[in-house]
């Protein structure tokens, strides 16, 4: 069955959750994007609009992490808030939470539809995004009119300028097959080493004070492109059961830890087809893994 693509351009999100995992801060987790689109599908279905969203691509156009660096500070600090006030109007206990403002375009794979169904879908999506929908925990301020296309080349230029997040788990798998620890491999691909070496001394033309050393930067040999850590799912660490004060009392509960791998931001013109930017849900109950990934049913988590 052929697929169409629902494109929602330039969604401006305010105060999205930038704490993508317990040890990474930055672009929201892929689970946040796929979760928002899944919630959108469920709300559409409740309105008797038949739609099935099977994959999602995310293209970032602007990203503003809410941090602050004072005069003389070496590192940035998270700009925290304490909202909402408690029932007595007092400031609640401060909980550090990383937030970001960002503008993204979403590319959603949908099953083929008739013209009338497409019109209903676009109208329903606009209504829900203008109502109470949230994305990655942030508020939607504005977005451009959604449209449906069936050829990636028809809308690729409309995703420019921007950066599509694509999966680079292959780098992690390669490093771990060579015996590296997962966290060491992740940090190894992200770190930038600064080296300095003495400049060549010419007795006839001695260097000035600033030219006595030469600085250079070095990355891991195959760490090409704009690599970032990206949270892509969860690994269950407890059996299914019930927990006190769980959010949904009708669904089984289990504790889980985040799965983090490498991603890469690429400009859409570097992608040849829509599948190059689409992410899918993948569940492996044997290994207790709930994952978002680009290649369906790929081996090696």
Rounded Cα–Cα distance for residues 15 and 295 (Å): 30
Residues 6+ apart with CB under 8 A from 96: 78, 80
Rounded Cα–Cα distance for residues 285 and 235 (Å): 10
Residues 115-129, mean pLDDT to the nearest whole number = 93
Share of the chain above pLDDT 90, in %: 63
How many domains, the chain? 1
For residue 143, tell me if it sits in a domain: yes
Which pLDDT does position 15 carry in this prediction? 92
For residue 216, tell me if it sits in a domain: no
For residue 204, tell me if it sits in a domain: no
For residue 197, tell me if it sits in a domain: no
Question: For residue 295, what pLDDT band results from cuts at 50, 70 and 90?
Answer: confident
Are 55 and 138 in contact by the 8 Å Cβ rule? The answer is no
Which pLDDT does position 1 carry in this prediction? 55
For residue 11, tell me if it sits in a domain: yes
Rounded Cα–Cα distance for residues 249 and 298 (Å): 33
Orientation angle between helical segments 115-130 and 30-46, nearest 10 degrees: 110
Query: How many H-runs (helices) and E-runs (strands) does the chain carry?
Result: 5, 15
SS3 of residue 154 by DSSP: helix
Distance from first CA to last CA of the chain, Å, rounded? 29
Which pLDDT does position 114 carry in this prediction? 85
Q: What average pLDDT does the structure give for the chain?
A: 89
Which pLDDT does position 207 carry in this prediction? 59
Q: What is the pTM of this model?
A: 0.87
Which pLDDT does position 299 carry in this prediction? 47
For residue 297, tell me if it sits in a domain: no
Model pLDDT for residues 71-113, shown as the tens digit of each residue:
888 888 888 777 777 788 777 776 678 899 999 999 999 987 8
Orientation angle between helical segments 169-177 and 182-190, nearest 10 degrees: 120
Which pLDDT does position 196 carry in this prediction? 84
Residues 174-185, mean pLDDT to the nearest whole number = 92
The stretches of the chain forming alpha helices (DSSP H) are: 30-46, 115-130, 152-155, 169-177, 182-190
Where b means 16+ CB within 10 Å and e means fewer, 22-44 reads: eebbbbbbbbbbbbbbeebbebb
Are 12 and 4 in contact by the 8 Å Cβ rule? The answer is no
For residue 241, tell me if it sits in a domain: no
Model pLDDT for residues 191-249, shown as the tens digit of each residue:
988 888 877 666 666 656 666 788 888 888 888 899 999 999 999 999 999 988 888 88
- Block residue for tokens 């156009």: 61
Q: Please give the DSSP secondary-structure letter assigned to residue 188.
A: H
Q: How would DSSP label each residue in 96-146?
A: ---EEEEEEEEEEEEE---HHHHHHHHHHHHHHHHTT-EETTEEEEE-PPP
- CA angle in degrees (0–180, nearest 5) for 131-20-243: 80
Which pLDDT does position 2 carry in this prediction? 65
The residue with greater pLDDT, 115 or 85, is: 115
Domain hosting residue 138, numbered range? 4-68+94-167
CATH number of the domain where residue 129 is located: 3.30.70
For residue 25, tell me if it sits in a domain: yes
* Helix or strand holding residue 17 (H, E): strand 3-17
Which pLDDT does position 165 carry in this prediction? 96
Which pLDDT does position 78 carry in this prediction? 86
Residues 6+ apart with CB under 8 A from 250: none
Model pLDDT for residues 16-30, shown as the tens digit of each residue:
999 888 888 999 999
């Amino acid at each position: 069955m052929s697929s169409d693509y629902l494109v929602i351009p330039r969604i401006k999100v305010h105060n999205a959750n930038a704490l993508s995992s317990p040890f990474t801060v930055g672009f929201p987790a892929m689970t946040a994007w796929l979760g928002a689109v899944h919630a959108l599908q469920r709300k559409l279905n409740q309105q008797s609009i038949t739609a099935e969203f099977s994959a999602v691509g995310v293209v970032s156009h602007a990203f503003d992490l809410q941090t602050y660096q004072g005069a003389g500070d070496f590192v940035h600090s998270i700009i925290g808030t304490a909202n909402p006030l408690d029932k007595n109007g007092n400031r609640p206990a401060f909980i550090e939470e990383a937030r970001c403002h960002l503008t993204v375009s979403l590319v959603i794979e949908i099953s083929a539809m008739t013209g009338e169904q497409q019109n209903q879908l676009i109208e329903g999506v606009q209504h829900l995004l203008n109502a109470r929908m949230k994305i990655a925990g942030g508020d939607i301020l504005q977005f451009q009119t959604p449209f449906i296309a069936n050829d990636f080349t028809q809308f690729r230029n409309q995703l420019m300028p921007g950066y599509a997040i694509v999966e680079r788990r292959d780098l992690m798998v390669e490093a771990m097959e060579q015996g590296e620890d997962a966290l060491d491999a992740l940090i190894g691909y992200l770190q930038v080493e600064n080296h300095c070496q003495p400049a060549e001394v010419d007795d006839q033309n001695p260097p000035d004070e600033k030219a006595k050393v030469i600085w250079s930067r070095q990355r891991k040999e195959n760490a090409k492109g704009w690599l970032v850590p990206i949270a892509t799912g969860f690994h269950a660490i407890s059996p299914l059961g019930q927990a006190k004060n769980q959010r949904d009392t009708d669904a089984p509960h289990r504790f889980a830890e985040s799965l983090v791998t490498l991603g890469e931001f690429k400009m859409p013109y570097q992608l040849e087809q829509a599948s190059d930017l689409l992410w899918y849900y993948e569940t492996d109950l044997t290994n207790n893994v709930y994952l978002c990934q680009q290649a369906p049913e790929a081996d090696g988590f």
